[in-house]
Structure 1
Amino acid sequence: MAKAKQLRVTLVRSLSGRLAGHKACVAGLGLRRMHHSVVVADTPENRGMINKVNYMLAVEEV
């Protein structure tokens, strides 16, 4: 069975003054503070959240 693709997502811009929906997407990805990184599965749901707030994130494949 093939291993599911993973993405490392890092918050590189502050949440201060952002739209509530953008803050919710960052929280949904599991990010808590600046320069915090999480590894998430490469699913359409996660990709949608990443695309919505891509200006605040750094993303790399793991």
Structure 2
Amino acid sequence: MKSHLRVRQQGSAIGQTEHMRKVLRGLGLRRPGSEVVVANTPSFRGMIKQVLHLVSIEEVDGGDAKASR
């Protein structure tokens, strides 16, 4: 298992519940197309699972863990 996850927001938070908007903000995502790299921990995996229909994920190594935005 890789040490980090690259999370990219694909869908808009418009029309989503307040809880889902807060989860996206907690992950550091602001708008569709934004991308962050987070640690591969159970807490982050749980957050991603709640908004899986709005994001795409990719496993990356610790050395590749550079956020582009």
In the alignment of these two chains, the number of paired residues is 59
Secondary structure at 1:55 match in 2: coil
Structure 1 gaps of 5+ residues are none
Task: Determine the structure 2 residue equivalent to 1:20.
Answer: 18
Calculate the aligned-residue CA RMSD, in Å: 1.0
Shift of 1:34: 0.8
TM-score (norm 2): 0.82
Runs of 4+ more than 2 Å apart = none
Shift of 1:26: 0.5
Give CA deviations for 1:14-43 in whole Å, capped at 9, x if unaligned.
010100111111000000111000000011
For residue 42 of structure 2, what is the amino acid of its counterpart? P
Percent identity between the aligned chains?
A: 42
1:38, 1:21 → 2: CA distance?
Answer: 19
